[in-house]
Amino acid sequence: MSDGRKCGECRWAAKYEGNDATDPWLNVTPDMRGRLRKCWCVCGLPNEAPQAFELGQEAAAIPCDFWEER
């Protein structure tokens, strides 16, 4: 991962924009869902269990070398 790239901006980050098929927080209560969407990214690397990371973390804080442009 290179500097200047942040968690949640990668192609592997689940998208929440009203798409139930890709919203990882769909089955959470509505009040909690809003908070989760603002603060957490779910990383969906192929063949890996999904992991949640804080949105906007700097490159050095993210334990991944798989950041890819959306």
Average pLDDT along the chain, 70 residues, taken 10 residues at a time: 73 80 85 88 86 79 77
Per-residue model confidence (pLDDT) at position 63: 66
Answer whether 12's CB lies under 8 Å from 68's CB: yes
Answer whether 24's CB lies under 8 Å from 42's CB: yes
Model-level pTM?
A: 0.67
Q: What is the C-alpha to C-alpha distance for residues 14 and 33, in angstroms, rounded to an integer?
A: 14
Per-residue model confidence (pLDDT) at position 3: 62
Per-residue model confidence (pLDDT) at position 29: 92
Residues 6+ apart with CB under 8 A from 2: 59, 67
Q: What is the C-alpha to C-alpha distance for residues 6 and 9, in angstroms, rounded to an integer?
A: 6
Answer whether 68's CB lies under 8 Å from 2's CB: no
